[in-house]
Amino acid sequence: MNSYLSTKPILPADRLIVALDVPEAAAAKAFVTQLGDAVSFYKIGLELFMAGGYFELLDWLVKNDKKVFVDLKFFDVPETVRSAVRALAGSGATFATVHGNQAIMEAAARDKGDLKILAVTVLTSLDRGDLDDLGFACDVDKLVLSRARRALETGVDGIVSSGLEAPMIRSELGQKLLVVTPGIRPVENKPADDQKRTVDVAQAFRNGADYIVVGRPIRQAPDPKAAAEAVQKTIAATFS
């Protein structure tokens, strides 16, 4: 079986991004403090954005030598997206997501500075039935590949993609794009889980991910720091 293990110069410890999907900034800070040096990269999304203190949290993370993935999935008219990305570019964030057509991605790439822009392909909570409901008359993998090709053309830095589609992207596009893979489940997926297109840690990287995003399997573990360290151990072994 082919392996598409990332060849990009990324520290193994930085390849784990932990999702701070908690209800308030104080809880996020407490969780980051609990994990300590086990995690160096965090994703902050819509829940924290709506809770208040979002940019203060971003600044706190950066000042504590953490990398930050701003996952707000900018989707609006291109000029508005460009302005939003330009405003975020000096914040110290490493990644930000956009979700939209070619014009939106091009606008996001125009004034991104050192910020790396990731285009969302298809959310990992969606499957073929969901795409039918949304009016997409194609398979998930075809839609993901189409959006990845468009992302490459627009000048964004990478994509967010399920680990199931990552091998196809690497086969078609090589190592040209960063691939960030959410929906990581170190153990068997629970029936009530809203993530449908999942892979485990090692498989995600063998399939071509540069980074993985892990949320609940770490956050809800009996010992979150031990769970994070276990993921880091798997990553280190995969790239050794």
Catalytic residues: 73
Q: Is 154 helix (H, G, I), strand (E, B) or coil?
A: helix
Residue 37 tokens read as 């040096």
- The helix or strand, by DSSP H or E, that contains position 212, with its residue range, turns out to be strand 211-214
Q: Sign (positive/negative) of CA torsion 187, 179, 159, 175?
A: negative
**Alpha-carbon 14 to chain mean position:** 13
**Alpha-carbon 232 to chain mean position:** 17
- The helix or strand, by DSSP H or E, that contains position 105, with its residue range, turns out to be helix 102-110
Residue 39 tokens read as 């995690």
DSSP 167-195: HHHHHHHTTSSEEEE--B-SSPPPTT-S-
Q: Which amino acid is at 140?
A: V
CA distances from 79 to 85, 106, 153, 233 (A): 10, 10, 19, 43
User: Count of CB atoms within 10 A of residue 118's CB?
Assistant: 27
Residue 128 tokens read as 């073929």
